[in-house]
């Protein structure tokens, strides 16, 4: 318990420092490094269970995908020159002419879906790699575990980049407001984890999912919902009354019942993400993905609840405020 608390405080201080004082671009290399560590831990679990997986391909594909997300802001909307429809000036107006022309052709050439092209090319490369490597004895297993890993970790964590790019069209740019939106998701999700852990320790009697995670209880789940909702509503209140308006324009539009709904839903998605990783660990007979964080296990153990919540919140913002 002591190690867990100390590690949690150190990790929190690191993210708080990055959030408040580091340049906005720093989020990308930190997220990239975290993604690659999670991929490494995932591959190590499978290899310990005697399963085949292409770690080198995953490392390369994860890096490329996050780089693509960083280059093409707000992925779904970058299929077309959305800045034209919004009456905005060209967001690349102050870039060199050759670079501006290159990006326009890639991103906004008659609505060509570059992101789908990247995914299709990556899938083809993976199949070709398995086809021509005679050392691979279980091609179905290799293709399945590797494809799953890509969509499970790099693809889903790419939505943190999407949130950090919210309301910008400029390539290789993250906004302070977007970073706070990403932080809002992480804060609510981890508050749910902490609330569930504390309530489960004190009040937990009724097992929620004994087949996958014997320690989780319904009392813990209720505690997680309560703390997520409380933290979410408190953060939005601070955004609307205390924090600088320029950094919280979107959260300032949230209504109390909307904040409560979003917080509870994100907490629930985080719980499901946690259970999914628990199922993968049980299938590979693994207790922790690694011991990189004393008292808290591996990085994947701590990111498991964060793998699906950024995507949910991103699409919610696009639907409601995009």
Average pLDDT along the chain: 85
The ranges assigned to domains in the chain are 2-75+138-321
Write down the pLDDT at residue 4: 67
Which position has the higher pLDDT, 31 or 74? Answer: 31
Length of the chain as a residue count: 322
Strongest mean pLDDT among 97-101, 200-204, 261-265, 282-286: 261-265
- What element of type H or E holds 120? helix 114-132
- pTM (2 decimals)? 0.86
Cα 48 to Cα 51, 283, 285, 296, 312: the distances in Å are 7, 11, 9, 20, 32
Q: What DSSP string describes 187-233?
A: HHHHHHHHHHHHHHHHH--SEEETTTEEEEEHHHHHHHHHHHHHHHH
The label of the residue with tokens 């509870």 reads 264
Q: In this prediction, what percent of the chain has a pLDDT beyond 90?
A: 55
Confidence bin at 205 (pLDDT 50/70/90): confident
The two three-digit tokens of residue 322, written as one number: 């995009």
């Amino acid at each position: 318990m002591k190690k867990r608390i100390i590690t949690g405080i150190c990790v929190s201080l690191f993210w708080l420092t990055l959030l408040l004082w580091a340049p906005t671009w720093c989020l990308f290399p930190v997220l990239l490094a975290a993604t690659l560590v999670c991929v490494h831990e995932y591959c190590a679990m499978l290899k310990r269970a005697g399963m085949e997986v292409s770690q080198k391909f995953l490392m390369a594909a994860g890096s490329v995908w996050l780089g693509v997300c960083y280059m093409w802001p707000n992925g779904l909307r970058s299929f077309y020159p959305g800045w034209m429809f919004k009456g905005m000036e060209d967001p690349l107006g102050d870039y060199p002419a050759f670079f501006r022309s290159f990006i326009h052709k890639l991103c906004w050439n008659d609505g060509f879906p570059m992101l789908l092209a990247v995914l299709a090319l990556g899938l083809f490369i993976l199949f070709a790699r398995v086809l021509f490597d005679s050392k691979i004895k279980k091609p179905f297993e290799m293709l399945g575990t590797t494809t799953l890993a890509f969509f499970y970790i790099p693809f889903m964590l790419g939505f943190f980049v999407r949130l950090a790019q919210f309301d910008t069209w400029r390539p290789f740019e993250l906004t302070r407001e977007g970073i706070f939106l990403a932080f809002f998701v992480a804060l609510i999700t981890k508050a749910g984890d902490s609330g569930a852990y504390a309530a489960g320790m004190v009040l937990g009697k009724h097992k929620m999912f004994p087949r996958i995670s014997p320690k989780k209880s319904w009392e813990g789940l209720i505690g997680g919902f309560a703390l997520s909702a409380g933290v979410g509503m408190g953060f939005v209140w601070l955004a609307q009354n205390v924090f600088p308006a320029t950094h919280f324009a979107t959260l300032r539009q949230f209504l109390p019942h909307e904040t409560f709904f979003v917080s509870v839903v994100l907490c629930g998605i985080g719980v499901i993400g946690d259970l999914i990783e628990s199922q993968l660990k049980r299938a590979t007979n693994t207790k922790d993905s690694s011991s990189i964080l004393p008292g808290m296990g591996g990085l994947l153990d701590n990111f498991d609840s964060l793998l699906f919540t950024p995507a949910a919140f991103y699409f919610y913002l696009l639907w409601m405020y995009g």
